[in-house]
Amino acid sequence: MPTEDRRAELAQKALDTYARQIVTQPRWRTARRLHDVSECEIVDLITDLLLLARLRGHDPATIVGKAERHVYAETGHHYGP
C-alpha cells in the first residue's frame, strides 16, 4: 500500500489535472503557483466524484462515510464535529 505521502502526491496530480480541465475562471483571482490549491477546488473535485458515483449507481453518502473512516484509520485523527 502506498505511503500517506505517496497517496497525497497522487491526489495532487488528480487535482492538478482536474483544475486544468475547468473551463470557467478560477474562483480566486490571485496568481496560482504549482500545487497551490484552494479548499473550494478540493470540494469541487470531491463533489464531481460523488456525482459520478451516483450516476454509476453508488450512494454518495455511503462513500463519504467510508472515506471518513479511512482517513481516521490512516491518520488516527477525527475531523469535524
SS (H, E, C) 10-37: HHHHHHHHHHHHCCCCCCCCCCCCCCCC
Residue 38 DSSP label: -
Q: CB neighbours of 36 closer than 8 A, spacing ≥ 6?
A: none
Distance, in Å, from the CA atom of 12 to the CA atom of 46, rounded to the nearest integer, reads 13
**In this predicted model, what pLDDT tens digit does every residue of 25-69 receive, in sequence order?**
555 555 455 556 778 889 999 999 999 999 999 999 999 999 999
Give the predicted TM-score (pTM) of the model. 0.74
Higher pLDDT, 28 or 22: 22
Domain positions in the chain are 38-81
